[in-house]
Structure 1
Amino acid sequence: MAYFISRATIGLFYFILYFSPTQEQSVTITNTPIAGSVVTYKPQFTVPAAADEGVTLIPNIKDPEAVDAQSVCPGYTASNVVRSAYGFSATLNLAGKPCNLYGTDVDVLALTVQYQNADRLSINISPAFVDSTKSSWFILPETLIPKPNVDNNAETTAQENDFQVSWSNTPTFSFTVVRRSTGDIVFSSAGSKLVYEDQFIEFVTSMPENYNTYGLGERIHGLRLGNNFTATIYASDAGDPIDSNIYGSHPFYLDTRYYEIDPSYGNMTLVTSNATSSKSAYKSYSHGVFLRNAHGQEILMRADNVTWRTLGGSIDLYFFDGPSQPEVTKQYQEVIGLPAMQQYFSFGYHQCRWGYQNVSVLQEVVDNFARFDIPLETIWTDIDYMKAYRDFEMDPNTFAVSEMAAFLSKIHDNGQHYVPIVDSAIYKPNPDNATDAYAPYDRGNQSGVFLRTPDGSEYIGTVWPGYTVFPDWHSSESVPWWINEMAMWYRDINFDGIWIDMSEVSSFCVGSCGSQNVSLNPVHPPFLLPGEPGNIEYDYPEGFNLTNSTEAASISSLSSVQSAATATVTESTNSAETIAASSTSSTSYLRTKPTPGVRNLNYPPYVINNVQGDLAVHAVSPNATHVDGVKEYDVHNLFGHQILNATYQSLLDIFPGKRPFIIGRSTFAGTGKWAGHWGGDNASKWFYLFASIPQALNFALFGIPMFGVDTCGFSGNSDEELCNRWMQLSAFFPFYRNHNVVSTISQEPYVWSSVADATKGAMAIRYALLPYMYTLFHSAHTTGSTVMRALAWEFPNDPSLAAADRQFLLGPSLLVTPVLTQGANTVDGVFPGISQGEIWYDWYTHLAVNASAGENVTIPAPLGHIPLYVRGGSVLPMQEPAYTTAASRKNPWSLLVALSSEGTATGSLYIDDGESIIQNSTLFVEFTASKDALYAAATGTYPDTNGLANIIIMGLSNSPGNITLNGASIMERASFNGTTGALSITGLQEVTSGGAWKNDWTLRWT
């Protein structure tokens, strides 16, 4: 049902809840329309908060005492240069006395330069003599992350490579990469020194003024990185802080440079400003740079250079010559792996909440969606379903296996699906309590699949269930064990996909804090859980006072009462914070010095700007040890990547031949070939609505197109307006899910009537366009193309679009211009390509947009309306939307044809069974419009029998005198709108009853 209740009442509820039960009491917060949460609280040992506090560090880039490696280190000198058919190699010797600044200098390095094919260049610098028994450095093995090599035909194709590499020993070794076709320097370390130590590597490239770089994730940031920013790459369980490192590790960037073309001589001049002139012509060139290195690292983007610093590994660089973003992205994905093809159902709408506390609530949510006629494809459960927060076990009281089986049978019969969360840590049962037995741990322990401490004992951290251990993905038994646990669980719970969380990998204490304490299990995390007394989300929605002035006034008076009540409670805390703030200037920081040949794993001498500070805070410690002796320090960024691989193998075992559907939190280069990603723990704030667009575009660059965010926000309370706008925006993201935290107000779209209406409108468009989106994903899966696209990528010769990230394209044909600010009823947007003759049509009215080149147009956008435009020259295949994707796939087809200024259009459609990895049959349909005719030609044998319902053609100047389909007149089925110039042809099922694409056809209008 829908709940409509005063915000003042909500505030009073939170006030009473917050100041009622004490921690020592046993309390159950029952489900209510307001809080939507259930938390059973009982006395148990709580891990001290200090357990998750690390040493006090200051990042090198902020440390006034930090020494600049460029000023004290000697660099290297190249010798023994040997040419080959694919490039050259050389020996690099330290050019002076070792500096040993942030580690131990490596005396001799090996340089290898390879033109690996027509568009990829490899530059590798690694220790020349690697003895794993003696060396104190770690080189990323190909068994963990595949390493691209020279193509079989590289002797021929390398000659076509647009890069040229030169090197110099003046004053020390440097290298330069030039684009042959333009003479532009794309990467050059000239004027800087190479620093290579066992715990610190630094190399620098010069950059042009106001350069445009994108990527280097994961973080919440605008699309264009800018030239006064440091990008830290270190997987971190942090709730989406702005500009800091979060879950994923993607050491890849796209560099785009614009050139002004001299109309008289054709000469090109590099553009150093995004301001453009309508009298000038421009051309862009893009290239990509990938550092195959999994260590913690940071990239310093400064005014005229980029400095790359890593905590180890090697310099394993790959350059992709483009020359535009689509080519760069495809070339990069050829190296890391093409994204997985998703099951058709995964593009439907997903609903989740941490706070669906039992099966009855799940059923109520499913029923409410049906009651309000809002499509629901998949229902998800957060950790509520688990028995004491343990993986692979259902709570027998709230999610009994028998009840869940009945629930799942019912939704599966409706064509709906279910996805549960799985966390990355495994509960360690209390050895002194036989009733605390936990079979998944026992089986894993017998197989030796858990991480160890340096002394060989189990590494025991703490996560949701208490003290936990962590899978060691370097063990040959770990994936078989994971597959078995998933399969055993599936016998009881017939899930349809898996959601992997906490995979950075997260631990709520520093070090192996449970080693001597496991007999206390189960223990409480070192912080209050959402929904527990004292940790209730009673904040009002952002900008609440702007839209609820009367209630805001009431709450203001209530707040004064609350402030008085909390004064005594917070007095000591505030005093401590004041003291800490006043003594900031005298803070004592840990600064470590390197010991020759010995790595300090927990506190490396160089301190990256990690959001958590100490590398072991809220994470497994860097000195945790894998079965092969590798330290977590060297592979921390790969845990999420590896658990998703293990989960992919598990679902292949459970569903043989079917594409696994997986959404994961921590990712690395190449994760997209197994899983999609959601944007993590965002907040119900307008900024995060905006930030979702550059987040999604970055993951398009990273080869993970199956991306979405927690729609309406995860933490904090959403409100009607924010959720209204967000439900519409996310309808055009590949992964479409609403999810929020326990203890906040409910935010399912049916909670507010206007949100329900806006959601149904946006979903009707999305579900109609599912064939278009599915076709885009097939192209991404087979060629590496992008699904969501930045305007700058699709219109690469317009410098003014370099930083545009408030609009985006879905594929090449749909322009989405969402409202991203509270209280707005209009939105400003540009219509790119106008100067080159592009036409844009309003999705809703079919009218061609009247806009000038470069004009920022104010577009009407009342609440409930999201502006959407179709690019001229497009043919969009659609199906009549239904309640589920399965039902939609059985509905009639339609075509939306948007003619270009030349009267042409093209499009395509890919059809298969929607789930199989290897297809028995497929169907590919190509559409072409030209010279007053539309042609449809199909290849393939997939038996689609749905008829063609209607065709709309936009952009006609006159009403046709006759309309024929394969020569037969169908004029009686057509109507023409003289105002919009749109021709509508309906009722075509009769003439396409055997299937719209069973035979090729031609539609003519004359």
Structure 2
Amino acid sequence: MGIRTWGYRPHETPVCTNEAREGFGMFLEQNRGAIGRPHMPAYWSLGFQLSRWGYGNIDVLKETVNRMHRYDIPYDVQHLDIDYMERRLDFTYDKENFAGLPEYLQELKKAGMHNIIILDPFITKDEEPGTYRPYDLGEEMGVWVNNSDGVTPAVGQAWPPGDSVFPDYTNPRTVEWWTQLCLEFKNVLDYDGIWIDMNEPSNFLQGQFPGCADNDINNPPYIPSISDRSLAQKTLCPDSKTYLGEHYNTHSLFGWSQTAPTFHAAQQATGKRAFVLSRSTFVGSGKHGGHWLGDNFSQWKDMHYSIIGMLEFNLFGIPYIGADICGFNYNTTYELCLRWMQLGSFYPFSRNHNAEGNMEQDPAFFGEEFAKISRATLRIRYSLLPYLYTLFFESHVHGNTVVRSLMHEFTSDQQSRGIDTAFLWGPAFMVAPVLEEGARSVDVYFPEATWFDYYTGYKVPSAWRGTYATVAAPLNKIPLFIRGGYILPEQAPATTTTKSRLNPFGLIIALNEQGEASGSLFWDDGDSIDTIENENYFLAKYTYGAGNLKTEILKNGYRGADSLRYNKITILGLKLKPHAVTLNGRAIRRDAFSYELNGVRAALRDYEKSRGHGKSQ
């Protein structure tokens, strides 16, 4: 009934042949070519995001935002769940409890932040005629899913008061209707993106009213074990009619069919790269939107399952993926939420969100120490956003995964195939979170490669390769490792990406056993439409070998790259102490670089070169 997963554990470990990693990548690239390659997200959408169903009023929202800022926690995006609406009606806002919301959103924008509004796929039909434009216009345009007669709208109940009807997004007229309403609402609330929820579609009446006819479509001989009643449970009758046919055949396409129109409407409304987050997805949904793993629970096992879901959706072609950090249902605990904040800091889509009636769980709520640890971990995320953004570029252009399993990179390694407790950003950055209550260490598997501890730059002992090693993980730390042979671009972090994008860059060069490494940096203005297709971007390739760091400019189509400034280059794994460093033949002052023998780390500071062929030797 559609790809709607919020964290389940597969019963068996998948089997992978010993084909080369390049072959696996080619398969994914061909698959994306058929279903549509993932969209290129806006840079700001890679920042940390905060949400809650249950702010209740604008004062609670403001206090939450203010305490995040008091603790200087990196934070780019504020979401608005259904409590911002007037009586939970789409395309409205509560002018009593959220009085001044339009003006407040403008304040957030001035501070360099962005905001996301939620919209649901059902429209109440019981307002006074002429008082609720979304329904009146929809009636006029004939955009609803109909009953089996193909004429009368199918009716259900959901969040809005009274009965609701359901837009049929497979109908071109519905796309026109939806686009028009999204454009009009932009003039009411100046949103930056749209979160579409409940789009399986959900129906609280579970097919009991007006009742599904007793026929072979509504009651087929075989009913999947997920339902103990009928295929209409919590959704529409299977014999309902859509533009493409019976709901029985189009149910799994509902969220998919809503995502593309929402993407284009948001892009048209904002004039910028679209942000769309959808609960219901299908093959190809990644071309126009991202996904979160649904209504999870504040439980340790759900935190673990989120890694599985994240890896799966990258294979599905939906790399912009994450789970509700700290859990959606139930009250969280201090330790669970802290460990989840550490893990969630490395979800591609990083958002803390929970349900109405539960305790607050934003990272500023728990006090100074919690905020300090969360801030430190998020600052690591923000410092590595240039690397993450480059991975999304490669995903958009080639169809690559952004987050991947160890098996993906080490296909011939039998041990790597069953690991779902750690993951990689691209090929080079390993995240090994704490997933058990009370644990202060993690057993980490290190495939055959050179690895470095992210925090210290120390090389992981060779004896650990191809086996598990117990790594210290005190409450204030999530174990992170860099794979030798790769160069990761970084940037000094800030409290928003609006600010961090103005900061100096750096390179982390992690050498393999041959003393070599390579990597790349993609850079554009971060939110303009089709910068890649229009070649309005900067792309550099970095290679290091024989003591030389070289930069090759592959594309120089973004003038904003002229101001790129590198002030730190860190080299991990040097075997000999460097006695001199030159930049394009010019000697660098001795006090401008340092070398740590115990950490085999070398750092070159104040490297203020925007582009060109730099050499260190």
TM-score range, shorter chain: over 0.9
Q: Which residue of 736, 741, 749 corresponds with 2:350?
A: 736
- TM-superposed CA distance for 1:331, in Å, is 1.4
Asked if 1:797 is matched to 2:415, the reply is no
Write out per-residue CA displacement over residues 736-767 of structure 1, whole angstroms, 9 at most, x where no aligned residue.
Answer: 00000111111010122332122111111110
Q: Which amino acid aligns with 2:381?
A: R
Task: Provide the residue aligned with 1:172 in structure 2.
Answer: none
Task: Provide the residue aligned with 2:181 in structure 1.
Answer: 485
Inter-partner Cα distance in structure 2 for 1:770 and 1:392:
33
- TM-superposed CA distance for 1:962, in Å, is 1.3
Q: Which amino acid aligns with 1:384?
A: D
Task: Provide the residue aligned with 2:393 in structure 1.
Answer: 778
Name the count of aligned residue pairs. 604
Task: Provide the residue aligned with 2:197 in structure 1.
Answer: 501
- TM-superposed CA distance for 1:397, in Å, is 0.7
- TM-superposed CA distance for 1:947, in Å, is 1.4
Q: Which amino acid aligns with 1:285?
A: E
Rate the CA distance shift 1:855–1:934 in 2: closer, same or farther, 3 A. Answer: same
Task: Provide the residue aligned with 1:220 in structure 2.
Answer: 7
Asked if 1:623 is matched to 2:234, the reply is no
Inter-partner Cα distance in structure 2 for 1:745 and 1:841:
39
Q: Which residue of 585, 591, 595 corresponds with 1:976?
A: 595
Asked if 1:706 is matched to 2:324, the reply is no
Q: Which amino acid aligns with 1:410?
A: E
Q: Which residue of 697, 720, 725 corresponds with 2:334?
A: 720
Write out per-residue CA displacement over residues 341-387 of structure 1, whole angstroms, 9 at most, x where no aligned residue.
Answer: 00000000100001111222222221111111111101111110111
Task: Provide the residue aligned with 1:649 in structure 2.
Answer: 264
Q: Which amino acid aligns with 2:131?
A: A
Q: Which amino acid aligns with 1:462?
A: Q
C-alpha contact 1:217 1:698 (8 A) present in aligned 2: no
Of the structure 1 ranges 964-973 and 376-385, higher mean CA displacement relative to structure 2 is found in 964-973
C-alpha contact 2:285 2:318 (8 A) present in aligned 1: yes
Q: Which amino acid aligns with 2:105?
A: L
Write out per-residue CA displacement over residues 543-574 of structure 1, whole angstroms, 9 at most, x where no aligned residue.
Answer: xxxxxxxxxxxxxxxxxxxxxxxxxxxxxxxx
Task: Provide the residue aligned with 1:406 in structure 2.
Answer: 103
Q: Which residue of 607, 613, 616 corresponds with 1:1001?
A: 613
Inter-partner Cα distance in structure 1 for 2:69 and 2:164:
40
1:857-872 to 2 correspondences below 5 Å: 857-872=469-484
C-alpha contact 2:3 2:252 (8 A) present in aligned 1: no
Inter-partner Cα distance in structure 2 for 1:803 and 1:467:
48
Task: Provide the residue aligned with 2:380 in structure 1.
Answer: 765
- TM-superposed CA distance for 1:987, in Å, is 2.0
Rate the CA distance shift 1:947–1:638 in 2: closer, same or farther, 3 A. Answer: same
Task: Provide the residue aligned with 1:695 in structure 2.
Answer: 309
Inter-partner Cα distance in structure 1 for 2:139 and 2:349:
36
C-alpha contact 2:38 2:286 (8 A) present in aligned 1: yes
Q: Which residue of 444, 454, 459 corresponds with 1:848?
A: 459
Q: Which residue of 379, 388, 392 corresponds with 2:78?
A: 379
Write out per-residue CA displacement over residues 306-334 of structure 1, whole angstroms, 9 at most, x where no aligned residue.
Answer: xxxxxxxxxxxxxxxx9743222211111
Inter-partner Cα distance in structure 1 for 2:342 and 2:64:
20
- TM-superposed CA distance for 1:444, in Å, is 0.2
Rate the CA distance shift 1:886–1:219 in 2: closer, same or farther, 3 A. Answer: closer
Q: Per the alignment, in what secondary structure is the counterpart of residue 464 of structure 2?
A: coil
Inter-partner Cα distance in structure 2 for 1:787 and 1:899:
22
Q: Which amino acid aligns with 1:362?
A: L
Task: Provide the residue aligned with 1:892 in structure 2.
Answer: 504
Q: Which amino acid aligns with 1:642?
A: S
Task: Provide the residue aligned with 2:95 in structure 1.
Answer: 396
C-alpha contact 1:459 1:512 (8 A) present in aligned 2: no
1:157-556 to 2 correspondences below 5 Å: 218=5, 220-222=7-9, 226=12, 256-257=16-17, 284-285=18-19, 324-400=23-99, 403-430=100-127, 433=128, 437-455=131-149, 456-465=151-160, 466-511=162-207, 513=209
1:542-691 to 2 correspondences below 5 Å: 600-611=216-227, 613-627=229-243, 630-656=245-271, 658-691=272-305
Inter-partner Cα distance in structure 1 for 2:252 and 2:78:
30
CA RMSD in angstroms, aligned pairs only = 2.0
Q: Per the alignment, in what secondary structure is the counterpart of residue 668 of structure 1?
A: coil
Inter-partner Cα distance in structure 2 for 1:652 and 1:354:
25
Inter-partner Cα distance in structure 1 for 2:478 and 2:228:
38
Asked if 1:951 is matched to 2:569, the reply is yes
Inter-partner Cα distance in structure 2 for 1:340 and 1:457:
37
Percent of aligned pairs with the same amino acid: 37
Q: Per the alignment, in what secondary structure is the counterpart of residue 309 of structure 2?
A: helix
- TM-superposed CA distance for 1:627, in Å, is 4.2
Inter-partner Cα distance in structure 2 for 1:908 and 1:611:
48
Task: Provide the residue aligned with 1:911 in structure 2.
Answer: 523
Task: Provide the residue aligned with 1:985 in structure 2.
Answer: 604
Inter-partner Cα distance in structure 2 for 1:611 and 1:816:
37
Inter-partner Cα distance in structure 1 for 2:170 and 2:570:
56
- TM-superposed CA distance for 1:255, in Å, is 5.8
Inter-partner Cα distance in structure 2 for 1:664 and 1:743:
23
What residue ranges of structure 1 are gaps of 5+ in the alignment?
Answer: 1-214, 228-253, 258-283, 287-321, 516-591, 593-598
Q: Which amino acid aligns with 1:367?
A: N
- TM-superposed CA distance for 1:725, in Å, is 0.5
Q: Per the alignment, in what secondary structure is the counterpart of residue 164 of structure 2?
A: strand
- TM-superposed CA distance for 1:217, in Å, is 6.9
Task: Provide the residue aligned with 1:525 in structure 2.
Answer: none
Inter-partner Cα distance in structure 1 for 2:476 and 2:538:
36
Q: Per the alignment, in what secondary structure is the counterpart of residue 354 of structure 1?
A: coil
Q: Per the alignment, in what secondary structure is the counterpart of residue 411 of structure 1?
A: helix
Tell me the TM-score normalized by structure 2.
Answer: 0.95
Asked if 1:966 is matched to 2:577, the reply is no
Write out per-residue CA displacement over residues 614-647 of structure 1, whole angstroms, 9 at most, x where no aligned residue.
Answer: 211111111111246x110111100000111121
Q: Which amino acid aligns with 1:965?
A: L
Inter-partner Cα distance in structure 2 for 1:896 and 1:865:
20
Write out per-residue CA displacement over residues 901-928 of structure 1, whole angstroms, 9 at most, x where no aligned residue.
Answer: 0000000000111112222621111100
Rate the CA distance shift 1:323–1:373 in 2: closer, same or farther, 3 A. Answer: closer
C-alpha contact 1:924 1:940 (8 A) present in aligned 2: yes
Q: Per the alignment, in what secondary structure is the counterpart of residue 857 of structure 1?
A: strand
What residue ranges of structure 2 are gaps of 5+ in the alignment?
Answer: none
Q: Per the alignment, in what secondary structure is the counterpart of residue 519 of structure 2?
A: strand
- TM-superposed CA distance for 1:942, in Å, is 1.5
Rate the CA distance shift 1:741–1:697 in 2: closer, same or farther, 3 A. Answer: same
1:49-198 to 2 correspondences below 5 Å: none
Q: Per the alignment, in what secondary structure is the counterpart of residue 69 of structure 2?
A: helix
Rate the CA distance shift 1:933–1:849 in 2: closer, same or farther, 3 A. Answer: same
- TM-superposed CA distance for 1:398, in Å, is 1.3
Inter-partner Cα distance in structure 1 for 2:37 and 2:372:
37
Q: Which amino acid aligns with 1:764?
A: R
Write out per-residue CA displacement over residues 56-115 of structure 1, whole angstroms, 9 at most, x where no aligned residue.
Answer: xxxxxxxxxxxxxxxxxxxxxxxxxxxxxxxxxxxxxxxxxxxxxxxxxxxxxxxxxxxx
Tell me the TM-score normalized by structure 1.
Answer: 0.59
C-alpha contact 1:467 1:514 (8 A) present in aligned 2: no
Q: Per the alignment, in what secondary structure is the counterpart of residue 335 of structure 2?
A: helix
1:820-839 to 2 correspondences below 5 Å: 820-833=435-448, 838-839=449-450
Inter-partner Cα distance in structure 2 for 1:903 and 1:613:
63
C-alpha contact 2:394 2:400 (8 A) present in aligned 1: yes
Inter-partner Cα distance in structure 2 for 1:216 and 1:469:
23
